[in-house]
Homo-oligomer: A and B are copies of this chain.
Amino acid sequence: MAKHGSNAQAAYELIKKRILEDELPPGAKLREGELVDVLGISRTPIREALRRLHVEGFVSFSPNVGTEVARYSDDDVDEIFALRVDLDGKVARLAALRASEPQREQLNAALDAMVRIPFVPENRERLTALNLEFHLLVGELSGSPRLARMRAGLIELPFVRQTVRTYTDPAWERSLQHHAELVDAVCQHDGDWAQAIATSHVLSVHAWLRRSRAGQVPDTDHRP
């Protein structure tokens, strides 16, 4: 058993991780009793983790019935991206206006980490994680913790994370360009530019995801 703080915290992190990585697909039932066996801790901390995941939107929950991994309709996806257009734009603007020199270096480093790793199948999991980290870092740099937290709830989603898996080489290349341009804008303290490129990035990802969901893009990476 991991000792990362309390058992409840560990359970929370583990379940969340499994959801994000699609090991627990949308609709999967999360029975408290089963989780007791799997995680080796009692129901109390497990319940706590599940309730937290519920408030944060990762799972849906019906009283006296149970918990299951949240499902996302096409309308949900559209709503989420419509919000991200605004929130990512605002976050990027604030980051450009407020980021300190060491923070800008940090952002550069996060970008570098992604650029250095070739886009081949065996790296996708790692690149997906780095991509998420990059976006969360921009959120931090905005200096608005509430804004960053709200946006995080729209980014840490299974289907967003999975998007990278479906990217073709040129799609990944475009995404990297967006990131690089955002870093550039932030380093220039140019809020308008940062907002514009962030907005473009979101719209571009949305368009890709739409096509991907419609089955127009072959899923290139299937786990065994």
Residue ranges of A at the interface with B (Cβ–Cβ < 8 Å):
5-6, 44, 47-48, 51-52, 55-57, 63, 79-80, 82-83, 86, 90, 144-147, 150, 154
Q: How far is the CA of A79 from the CA of B145 in the complex (A)?
A: 9
Contact for A82 among B44, B55, B144, B150, CB less than 8 A: B144
> Is A146 a contact partner of B52 (Cβ separation < 8 A)?
no
Alpha-carbon separation in the docked complex, A51 to B55 (Å): 10
A147 touches B52 (CB 8 A): no
Whether the pair B6, A83 counts as a contact (CB closer than 8 A) is no
**Chain B residue at minimum C-beta to C-beta distance from A53:** B55
Residue in chain B with minimal CB distance to A49: B51
In whole Å, how far is A216's beta carbon from the nearest beta carbon of chain B? 26
A63 cross-chain contacts in B, Cβ below 8 A: 5-6
B144 touching A79, Cβ below 8 Å: yes
CB distance from A73 to the nearest CB of B (A): 12
Closest partner residue, chain B, to A57 (CB atom): B146
How distant is A96 from chain B, measured CB to nearest CB, in Å? 16
The 10 closest A-B pairs by CB, nearest first: A55-B55, A150-B150, A79-B144, A52-B55, A83-B147, A79-B146, A48-B51, A83-B146, A6-B63, A86-B90
Would you give 25 A-B contacts (Cβ < 8 Å), ordered by A? A6-B63, A44-B44, A47-B48, A48-B48, A48-B51, A51-B51, A51-B52, A52-B52, A52-B55, A55-B55, A55-B56, A57-B146, A79-B144, A79-B145, A79-B146, A79-B147, A80-B146, A82-B144, A83-B144, A83-B147, A83-B150, A86-B86, A86-B90, A146-B154, A150-B150
Measured between alpha carbons, how far is A115 from B187 in the docked complex, in Å? 51
A55 to B153, CA, bound (A): 12
- B residues less than 8 Å from A48 (CB atoms): 47-48, 51
> Separation in Å of the A139 CB from the closest CB of chain B?
13
